[in-house]
Amino acid sequence: MTESTEPITELPDSLTRLHDDPVDAATTLRERAGDTDVAEQVGCLFAALSNPQRLQLLWALRDGECCVCELQTALDAPQSTVASHLRCLTDAGLVSTRKDGKWSYYRPADPAVFELVDDALAIADVEATE
Protein backbone atom coordinates (compact mmCIF):
# COMPACT_ATOMS: atom_id res chain seq x y z
CA MET A 1 0.00 0.00 0.00
CA THR A 2 1.25 3.47 -0.80
CA GLU A 3 0.45 6.99 0.27
CA SER A 4 -3.30 7.47 0.41
CA THR A 5 -4.65 9.52 -2.49
CA GLU A 6 -8.28 8.92 -1.68
CA PRO A 7 -10.28 11.99 -0.75
CA ILE A 8 -10.66 12.59 2.94
CA THR A 9 -14.29 12.09 3.84
CA GLU A 10 -14.28 11.29 7.55
CA LEU A 11 -12.38 13.26 10.11
CA PRO A 12 -12.12 12.83 13.84
CA ASP A 13 -14.36 15.34 15.57
CA SER A 14 -11.40 16.67 17.53
CA LEU A 15 -9.58 17.56 14.29
CA THR A 16 -12.51 19.69 13.18
CA ARG A 17 -12.30 21.56 16.49
CA LEU A 18 -8.53 22.08 16.26
CA HIS A 19 -8.27 23.43 12.71
CA ASP A 20 -10.14 26.05 10.71
CA ASP A 21 -9.68 23.89 7.60
CA PRO A 22 -9.62 20.30 8.90
CA VAL A 23 -9.49 18.76 5.41
CA ASP A 24 -6.37 20.76 4.58
CA ALA A 25 -4.87 19.81 7.94
CA ALA A 26 -5.64 16.14 7.32
CA THR A 27 -4.10 16.31 3.85
CA THR A 28 -0.94 17.89 5.25
CA LEU A 29 -0.73 15.24 7.97
CA ARG A 30 -1.07 12.45 5.40
CA GLU A 31 1.70 14.00 3.32
CA ARG A 32 3.95 14.26 6.37
CA ALA A 33 3.31 10.64 7.27
CA GLY A 34 4.75 9.63 3.90
CA ASP A 35 4.51 6.57 1.74
CA THR A 36 3.43 3.34 3.42
CA ASP A 37 5.71 1.19 1.23
CA VAL A 38 8.75 3.24 2.20
CA ALA A 39 7.78 3.08 5.87
CA GLU A 40 7.47 -0.72 5.61
CA GLN A 41 10.93 -1.02 4.03
CA VAL A 42 12.53 1.16 6.68
CA GLY A 43 10.59 -0.74 9.34
CA CYS A 44 12.15 -4.00 8.10
CA LEU A 45 15.60 -2.45 8.39
CA PHE A 46 14.94 -1.32 11.97
CA ALA A 47 13.44 -4.73 12.80
CA ALA A 48 16.69 -6.35 11.69
CA LEU A 49 18.62 -3.93 13.91
CA SER A 50 16.32 -4.50 16.90
CA ASN A 51 18.03 -7.69 18.06
CA PRO A 52 21.09 -7.30 20.34
CA GLN A 53 22.91 -10.27 18.80
CA ARG A 54 22.44 -8.88 15.30
CA LEU A 55 23.90 -5.57 16.48
CA GLN A 56 26.84 -7.48 17.93
CA LEU A 57 27.34 -9.19 14.57
CA LEU A 58 27.41 -5.83 12.84
CA TRP A 59 29.93 -4.50 15.37
CA ALA A 60 32.09 -7.59 14.75
CA LEU A 61 32.00 -6.77 11.02
CA ARG A 62 32.84 -3.11 11.49
CA ASP A 63 36.54 -3.54 10.67
CA GLY A 64 36.15 -6.06 7.87
CA GLU A 65 34.66 -9.31 6.76
CA CYS A 66 34.46 -12.42 8.91
CA CYS A 67 33.57 -16.04 8.34
CA VAL A 68 30.75 -17.69 10.29
CA CYS A 69 33.12 -19.46 12.69
CA GLU A 70 34.68 -16.10 13.63
CA LEU A 71 31.23 -14.64 14.21
CA GLN A 72 30.26 -17.68 16.30
CA THR A 73 33.28 -16.93 18.49
CA ALA A 74 32.38 -13.24 18.71
CA LEU A 75 28.85 -14.06 19.88
CA ASP A 76 29.68 -17.26 21.76
CA ALA A 77 26.63 -18.70 20.02
CA PRO A 78 25.89 -21.84 18.01
CA GLN A 79 26.33 -21.80 14.24
CA SER A 80 22.56 -22.11 13.70
CA THR A 81 21.89 -18.96 15.74
CA VAL A 82 24.58 -16.97 13.94
CA ALA A 83 23.35 -18.21 10.55
CA SER A 84 19.78 -17.21 11.38
CA HIS A 85 20.84 -13.71 12.41
CA LEU A 86 23.06 -13.33 9.33
CA ARG A 87 20.15 -14.35 7.11
CA CYS A 88 18.00 -11.65 8.71
CA LEU A 89 20.73 -9.02 8.25
CA THR A 90 21.28 -10.15 4.65
CA ASP A 91 17.56 -10.07 3.86
CA ALA A 92 17.41 -6.52 5.24
CA GLY A 93 20.28 -5.52 2.94
CA LEU A 94 22.63 -4.77 5.84
CA VAL A 95 25.14 -7.56 5.24
CA SER A 96 26.51 -9.10 2.06
CA THR A 97 28.33 -12.37 1.58
CA ARG A 98 30.95 -13.93 -0.64
CA LYS A 99 31.90 -17.56 -1.03
CA ASP A 100 35.47 -18.80 -1.09
CA GLY A 101 35.33 -22.55 -1.57
CA LYS A 102 33.45 -23.97 1.41
CA TRP A 103 33.78 -20.74 3.37
CA SER A 104 31.25 -17.93 3.49
CA TYR A 105 32.48 -14.48 4.42
CA TYR A 106 30.21 -11.68 5.60
CA ARG A 107 30.74 -7.94 5.46
CA PRO A 108 28.61 -4.81 5.83
CA ALA A 109 26.68 -4.17 2.63
CA ASP A 110 26.94 -0.43 3.23
CA PRO A 111 29.23 1.15 5.84
CA ALA A 112 26.56 3.84 6.36
CA VAL A 113 24.80 1.35 8.66
CA PHE A 114 27.44 2.19 11.27
CA GLU A 115 26.47 5.85 11.14
CA LEU A 116 22.90 4.76 11.90
CA VAL A 117 24.05 2.54 14.76
CA ASP A 118 26.31 5.31 16.10
CA ASP A 119 23.37 7.73 16.01
CA ALA A 120 21.25 5.19 17.91
CA LEU A 121 24.00 4.87 20.52
CA ALA A 122 24.10 8.64 20.89
CA ILE A 123 20.32 8.82 21.28
CA ALA A 124 20.40 6.02 23.86
CA ASP A 125 23.30 7.88 25.53
CA VAL A 126 25.50 4.77 25.67
CA GLU A 127 28.91 3.89 24.29
CA ALA A 128 29.75 0.76 22.33
CA THR A 129 32.44 -1.36 23.91
CA GLU A 130 35.31 -2.39 21.68
The pLDDT value given to residue 27: 83
Beta-carbon contacts of residue 83 (< 8 Å; ≥ 6 apart):
68
Residue 1 clears pLDDT 50, i.e. is over it: no
Comparing 30 with 5, which gets the higher pLDDT?
30
Residue 111 has, within 13 A of its CA and on its CB side, a CA count of 4
Within 13 Å and on the Cβ side, how many CA atoms surround 76? 0
> Could you tell me which CATH number the domain at 51-124 has?
1.10.10.10
pLDDT of 101 higher than 90: yes
pLDDT digits (tens, 9 = 90+) for 13-62: 888 888 888 888 888 888 887 788 888 888 999 999 999 999 999 999 99
pLDDT of residue 4: 56
Whether the full predicted model's pTM is greater than 0.85, yes or no, is: no
Q: What mean pLDDT is predicted for residues 4-19? A: 77
CA distances from 27 to 16, 19, 121 (A): 13, 12, 35
Provide the β-strand partners of residue 66: 106
What are the structural domain ranges in the chain? 51-124
Cα–Cα distance between 60 and 91 in angstroms, integer? 18
